[in-house]
Structure 1
Amino acid sequence: MIKFPGPITVSVLLTGLLTFSEFAAATPSADTGVLAQQLEQEFKGAYSERLDPVGKVRSFELTAAPAEWGVVPPYRTAVWAYNGTVPGPVLRIKLGETLKVKLTNNLAQSTTMHWHGIRVPNAMDGVPGVTQPPIKPGGSFTYQFTPKDAGTFWFHPHLNSPEQIERGLHGALIVEDSKEPRYSQDLVWVMDDWLFENGASIYGQFVTGHDLAHDGRWGNVVTVNGKYLPSIPVKAGERLRIRLINAANGRVFSPAFDGLSPKVIAVDGMPAGAPFPLSQFNLAPGNRLDLDLVIPKEAAGKLLVVSNRFGRSQQTLAFLDVATKTVVKTPTFEPPKAAHFPAWTEALAAPVAHEFILNAERGGPYGISWTIDGKIGHENVAATLPYGKFSRLRYTNKSGRLHPMHLHGQFFKLLAVDGEPAQENFWRDTLLVGPKQSVDVGLVPLDKGLWANHCHILEHAEAGMMSTFKVE
């Protein structure tokens, strides 16, 4: 039985969720004002409210255009790509540096670029109709910002996303912290799947009735860095940092390394309070994991398999190809971890600021509309959250499908699943909500503006499961 939403196994309360009024009645001494101050005090120092630029600007130029890519050799697949590669170029900068990216659109349709997980100025968030106008064919737009956090992030279109991302438009942004230890190799693995027909041709119908009635578009070929069953060269004794990014439209991955025991050191770009073993982590579309993995010295000459074990049949993702008779000295250091992470053990005594109801109804341009609070689209400003103050939010899934919910511009902590406390020592920006499930999250918004809140199953978002919220 698959457990949601992450590595922590939680049980379901048979009696259902307690409302805040019921909870408060059971604990009449609770003072919500004092409690909020306590939670905000616990939060302080968890991550930066602001970061002053060091004065260095790293400039990149990306062009979105049709291209060909060898996903499954010997076939060549017609794709859409940034600078001709799938995924696009890995952009690496140092914490404190300013990123400047000129995006030129050579597609036959408009596009934008969203910086997933990065706390950017609101105008740089890349959501058409919310933060910027679409970039028309032949046009360009320059994104410029200084990331506040080091970690693993990614970028992708936020317009006609089910087609543009599926055809190959996505890439990784790595913000490096010079204070973190150096690994033997720092690897970026962008995981994806493709729905192919006639060899390696992308199935050309998008946002289909089947996709909408299920968990989005799941492909028949899974890839790492745009390649089917790649072999990644490593050496025995190496200590690897592997940055996993799920760029799929709808597929959930649950990666496992056969015979190896990697530790998770960061989730959704942010370092965990302490490393923990990789075990049944459901990596939903949009999620990222940073792993700390040592290749055993006795593994020389062996081929180690990386597998996917989520839900459906197990699939091989990639191979670690260990060089024969080459053993290196393993770097020794304490793995990176968060300098401070709030326990928030009393957070469930705080009132629910807003409950997002996730559901579906008949109708709309696709025949099925996926809704938040019974409404569709980002014109629905569902909530207003106070800047710098603790807020508890609830996502209640009335449907029988999966919904990885993504908050733009914010990190949050999972507090409860179906009313029972969940103990996670890491932040998220995307959380998988299971069928008929309710989850509570806590956050302290530090970035003002109008932000998107949507399901990251791209077909669900396209069919309406998209709203906005204000931080002011």
Structure 2
Amino acid sequence: MKITHLVLSSLLGFCLSSSLGVAGQSDFSISDLKKELKNEFTNSYPEQQKPTGKIKSFELVAAENNIGIIPPYKTLVWAYNGMVPGPVIRIKLGDTLQLKLINNLPQATTIHWHGIRVPNAMDGVPGVTQAPVQSGDSFTYKFTPKDAGTFWFHPHVNAAEQIERGLHGVLIVEDPDEPEYSQEFVWVLDDWLLTKDWQVSANFVTRHDLAHDGRWGNVLTINGRYQPIFQVKAGERIRIRMINVANGRVFSPAFARLMPYVIAVDGMLTEAPFPLQEFYVAPGNRVDLDIIIPKSLAGKKLLVQNLYGRQKSALAFLQVAAEEAVETPVFDSPRAIQFPRWADATKLPIEHEYVLNAKRGGVYGISWTIDDKIWPENAAYELTSGQFYSLRFTNKSSRLHPMHLHGQFFKVIAKNGKAVEERYWRDTVLIGPKQSIDIGIIPLDKGLWANHCHILEHAEAGMMTTIKVK
């Protein structure tokens, strides 16, 4: 009996030590792989940006105004400094932006700096980072952007109404090391739901919008104009900074007889330029395009269309001058200095799965949920700054959800469980019906950050949570 007991004890001890050894080896492998992924990420973009000491001061007044979306008719809008879109603010990388928001609207508002890594207190989200700026009051935002690129700003109070009425603008952070193009255009893509008398429909966050992909309009515009014409010359090399500010509409831009190359997504330069082919620019997304106008197209009028949806829609025209072609600037397209492939990232377990869905009830009769909860019921999911994480968004609904994470960039690493290789960063990713998207992320900027659907009606009806970066 004693001998048998010793044998059993020895065998049990061997099994336990073997099991622990395997588990320890597994944990070590995960830890080792995370270190490799972090090393790949090093210097992809800066944790801090050294200020130049130059302060660029602006004043932004939010108020009602009349503009001509479809001349000669006038449409009552809400505007920044009387303009829709608001002014294009340009600063150099390293400059400090100081902007005073004056609220002359009939309701409270804020400014969220979409895609810009700002100090948490400057992020403009009521209940998360700041109190709403009441009607008649003002608030001054001050920060030094950490990244060069194409960004935008908009309210985060009643956003489904305020953005739709016209409150949005563009912030461009210029990198002096990037090459100079023949021309640069800023294209703010939007759609408007206008009534028969050309006014903004005042029915916001309707059951129809909530049961579908948010509010889709009946008039598409670029820079607040219906089917504008942009003048170019044969031989020119053009940079177009394109921003989708629509409540819910997705754009898939296509240029007749031209081959644009994407050089930046969501403000950040790509690893290498790639052709613009069936690229979905969802609400909140930005793309920067590099386009050469062939000399053979002198005198031609070129159509730019939106191919997303059941019908093709004209967006704008490029009118190529009939005069003699100019010399084409020759330079390498700007690209990311360092970019991680993260080829093995899908081998890691998913740290958290965000389940996106809808349920009956709530203020609007339909609630859009994350993990079966509506904002602000959700608890913040915690991440540690400087560590690699795999997160999953699983869309159990039959509608679209462009998910936007404040304060951080991420890389899509898998779709429906299969690895993909996107060679660019995002801050907003479109998730289709019944689709899952896995992202790799190394959060750098600490604080409490919103994570929500950028179909504004869905967010208004609860599809928002927070991530806390420690």
1:328 CA drift (Å): 1.4
Question: Equivalent residue for 1:132?
Answer: 130
Structure 1 residue aligned with 2:192, among 191, 194, 200? 194
Q: Greater Rg, structure 1 or structure 2?
A: 2
> d(CA) in 1 for partners of 2:236 and 2:90?
22
Q: Is the 8 A contact 1:378 1:452 kept in 2?
A: no
Question: Equivalent residue for 1:285?
Answer: 283
> d(CA) in 2 for partners of 1:35 and 1:334?
34
> d(CA) in 1 for partners of 2:209 and 2:187?
26
Q: Is the 8 A contact 1:77 1:202 kept in 2?
A: yes
Aligned partner of 2:141: which letter? Answer: Y
Structure 1 residues 72, 419: closer, same or farther in 2, change over 3 A? same
Structure 1 residues 29, 54: closer, same or farther in 2, change over 3 A? closer
Q: Cα deviations across residues 327-384 of structure 1 (Å, max 9, x unaligned)?
A: 2111000000000100101101112111101000000000000000111114523411
Q: What is the aligned-residue identity percentage? A: 64
Structure 2 residue aligned with 1:384, among 378, 382, 385? 382
Q: How does 1:8-157 map to 2 (within 5 A)?
A: 31-157=29-155
Aligned partner of 2:280: which letter? Answer: N
Aligned partner of 1:352: which letter? Answer: I
- Shifted more, 347-356 versus 397-406: the winner is 347-356
> d(CA) in 1 for partners of 2:234 and 2:27?
58
> d(CA) in 1 for partners of 2:369 and 2:382?
19
Aligned partner of 1:359: which letter? Answer: N
1:311 CA drift (Å): 2.1
Q: Cα deviations across residues 262-320 of structure 1 (Å, max 9, x unaligned)?
A: 00000000000000000000100000000000111121111001000012210000011
> d(CA) in 1 for partners of 2:28 and 2:304?
49
- Shifted more, 377-386 versus 126-135: the winner is 377-386
1:29 CA drift (Å): 9.2
Q: Comparing both structures, which one devotes a greater share of its residues to helix?
A: 2
Task: State the superposition RMSD in angstroms.
Answer: 1.3
Aligned partner of 1:49: which letter? Answer: E
Aligned partner of 2:461: which letter? Answer: A
Q: Secondary structure at the match of 1:126?
A: coil
1:198 CA drift (Å): 1.5
Q: How does 1:254-403 map to 2 (within 5 A)?
A: 254-403=252-401
> d(CA) in 2 for partners of 1:433 and 1:373?
16
1:325 CA drift (Å): 1.1
> d(CA) in 1 for partners of 2:444 and 2:309?
36
> d(CA) in 2 for partners of 1:89 and 1:364?
37
TM-score normalized by the length of structure 1: 0.93
Q: How does 1:177-192 map to 2 (within 5 A)?
A: 177-192=175-190
Question: Equivalent residue for 1:163?
Answer: 161
> d(CA) in 1 for partners of 2:385 and 2:81?
38
> d(CA) in 2 for partners of 1:378 and 1:29?
35
Q: Secondary structure at the match of 2:36?
A: helix
Question: Equivalent residue for 1:17?
Answer: none
1:199 CA drift (Å): 3.3
> d(CA) in 2 for partners of 1:156 and 1:326?
42
Aligned partner of 1:242: which letter? Answer: I
Structure 1 residues 368, 352: closer, same or farther in 2, change over 3 A? same
Question: Equivalent residue for 1:417?
Answer: 415
Q: Is the 8 A contact 1:30 1:349 kept in 2?
A: no
Q: Cα deviations across residues 394-448 of structure 1 (Å, max 9, x unaligned)?
A: 0000100000000000000000000011111000000000000111000100100
Structure 1 residues 270, 130: closer, same or farther in 2, change over 3 A? same
**What stretches of structure 1 of length at least 5 have no aligned partner?**
1-23
**What stretches of structure 2 of length at least 5 have no aligned partner?**
1-21
1:206 matched to 2:208: no
Q: Is the 8 A contact 1:399 1:436 kept in 2?
A: yes
Question: Equivalent residue for 2:5?
Answer: none
Question: Equivalent residue for 1:236?
Answer: 234
Q: Is the 8 A contact 1:381 1:470 kept in 2?
A: no
TM-score normalized by the length of structure 2: 0.94
Q: Which runs of 4+ in 1 moved over 2 A?
A: 27-30
1:431 matched to 2:397: no
Number of residue equivalences: 448
